[in-house]
Structure 1
Amino acid sequence: MQDIEIKLERPRVEMLFARYRDQIGEDYAGYRNHVYRTITYAMHFLGNAEEYEQIVETVFVYHDIGLWTDHELAYLEPSEAVALADNEEFGWGLDPDLLRGAIHWHHKITPYTGPNTKVIEACRKADWIDASKGKVKKGVSKEVIANVEAAFPNKGFHDTLLRLAKDYGGSTLVGGLKVTRGIVKW
């Protein structure tokens, strides 16, 4: 069985979430665990190299944040804008092109091959694993996925996405179409 490092505590993630926890509201526990799962997978793809931890943690806290900050189904650009503004305001010094790119391309269906490929591709693969509830494995075993999901239970995250599609789109079908058009990249 393939091993994966599971960190149950990530102080930077909690610090980043602190500003948005009230805004995310009842969806917080599900989104938080989605973020922890995706960070775990992305860091696994990056060999758990510490040099990538800060950017990966930041990317995933912000990657879907536009759903709550801007109430948008086409949430990639709003999420990028919030992440870039906070990076600037708080002086984190993260590469804005990498931060923007990892958020922008995390729903890309085909492999990403542009600038910052290593990190963006790790983030893309990580999100596909979790968004598909482990049906898309990207080379990670079902046992490893089960271990990550056991450490960070779903807590209704995927149901939240369906609810938001309905709330923001008028119906689940219309919202689903808007989401697909707004966030899926080839």
Structure 2
Amino acid sequence: MPPSHPDVSATAVEPSTIMAMTDATPSSAQPAQAVLREAVHERIAELFTRDSAVFGRDLAPYRGHAQRVAALVMGQVDMRPDWVEPVAVASYYHDAAIWFEHTWDYLPGSESLAAQELSRTGHEGEAALVTAMIDEHHRVRPARNPHPLVEATRRADATDVYRLPLPPHVSRDDYRAMLKRFPDNGMHLMLGRGFVMGLKERKRLNPMPMVKL
């Protein structure tokens, strides 16, 4: 069972607050995007600070991965204030049940944890979107959900995990900057340990239960 958490509803950035901060006009569109992107990274950082003990030695590699996934998602879309919480929560929780529930079959648990977080912060209305972002993020083919954040999340995770070609609108220099700000810190060693967990847990029948065609 995941550990209980204090009420963190005050830490979630409300869309109305961000809208006031950005007040986007044609000349301020790029600064507005920067504000929204930074709000996502700050929200993810808050969650990792709160739950740092859960991740143990995998804190640094998973934190870097989650932040890069968020950055890659946001590099593919024009961010909106009401997308800050979904992108942050989906990026943070997309693999999180590996540590919260000690399982390699982690999609259902990660979706449940994300829904609980959205409920704590008063964003229950985003649960269906965040569930889809997590549930589809290991699909081999394009996501079976039309929302742009769902496919953006799938592409973002594939890029960071498998080093596949970069998603649309993200350059190699962009990705290098992401790695510089949010270092890898042994992410693939972390994934290797998870795969061994899967072999033991699934008795070799299906060591990759999260992958969908």
Bigger drift between 17-26 and 73-82 goes to: 17-26
State the number of aligned residues: 178
Shift of 1:50: 3.2
Q: Which moved more, 1:5-14 or 1:56-65?
A: 5-14
Structure 1 residues 115-134: aligned runs within 5 Å: 115=146, 117-133=147-163
When normalised by structure 1's length, the TM-score is: 0.83
RMSD: 2.7
Q: Does 1:183 align with 2:213?
A: no
Q: Deviations over 1:10-62 (max 9, x none)?
A: 32112222342101111111111111111111011112333322210110100
Q: Relative CO higher for 1 or 2, CA cutoff 8 Å, sep ≥ 6? A: 1
Identity %: 26
Q: From the CA coordinates, give the structure whose radius of gyration is larger.
A: 2
C-alpha distance in structure 2 between counterparts of 1:34 and 1:138, whole Å: 16
Kept in 1: contact 2:137–2:157 (CA 8 A): yes
Between 138-147 and 40-49, the greater mean CA deviation after superposition? 138-147
Does residue 16 of structure 2 align to residue 16 of structure 1?
A: no
Q: Per-residue CA shift, 1:131-152, capped at 9, x if unaligned?
A: 113x332233333222221221
Alignment of 1:96-135 (within 5 A): 96-115=127-146, 117-133=147-163, 135=164
1:33–1:152 CA contact under 8 A, matched in 2: yes
Q: Secondary structure at the match of 1:47?
A: coil
Structure 2 unaligned regions, length at least 5: 1-32
CA shift, 1:74, in A, is 1.2
Distance 1:153 1:185 in 2: 28
**TM-score if structure 2 supplies the norm length?**
0.73
What are the equivalent positions in structure 2 for 1:15-164 lying under 5 Å apart?
Answer: 15-115=46-146, 117-133=147-163, 135-139=164-168, 140-164=170-194
